[in-house]
Amino acid sequence: MLMEYPILYSFKRCPYAMRARMALVLAEITCEIREVRLNNKPNHMLKVSPKGTVPVLILKDMVIDESMDIINWAIKKNNLFKGNLEHSEKNFSEELISIFDDKFKYHLDRYKYSTRYEDDNLEFHRNECHKILISLEKNNIP
Ligand SMILES: N[C@@H](CCC(=O)N[C@@H](CS)C(=O)NCC(=O)O)C(=O)O
């Protein structure tokens, strides 16, 4: 297959895909965006990334299928921030990202998509999400 631009498999309601797209836009990297339906993923996407999540960025010589890896690739590629991001600032952003990706997302999925889980304690997971947000609003790391 002749690739003029990198291909990004994406989904408009996916926050991971959106943050990857934002980094690609900021880094001024032109991509062919392929919008997918999560209930009907393209074979080509599953072939290059069998885990079946978006975003997936396909470059000439590699496939990147984790949003943070796409962001870091874009930052490095176009030297975004040009070394201006303070070390402590970077650690803080990484900590915040991991709170949302790990802790918050864990409870959010079990609240928002409760039918997909055996654990049906919807109220509990909603409260855990709420606690994290309250804590962040008070500028505390939960
Ligand atoms: N750790 C992954 C998470 C990506 C992810 O979970 N994306 C969701 C959409 S928001 C997905 O593709 N889910 C697959 C599905 O629902 O079948 C990343 O940061 O790229």
Distance CA 31, CA 75 (A): 15
- Nearest-CA residue for ligand 1 atom 13 is 53
CATH of 7-82, one of 3.90.79.10, 3.40.50.720, 3.40.50.1100, 3.40.30.10: 3.40.30.10
Q: Enter the pTM of the model.
A: 0.76
Which 8-state DSSP code applies to residue 80?
A: G
Residue-wise pLDDT tens for the chain (142 aa)? 567 899 999 999 999 999 999 999 988 999 999 999 999 999 999 999 999 999 999 999 999 999 999 998 998 888 766 666 666 666 767 888 888 889 999 999 999 988 889 877 999 999 999 999 998 888 777 7
Amino acid letter at 42? P
User: Among the atoms of ligand 1, which is closest to the Cα of residue 11?
Assistant: 9
Dihedral sign for Cα atoms in the order 123, 127, 130, 132: negative
**Ligand 1, residues at Cβ distance < 6 Å:** 11, 14, 16, 38, 52-55, 66-68
Domain with CATH 3.40.30.10 in the chain: 7-82
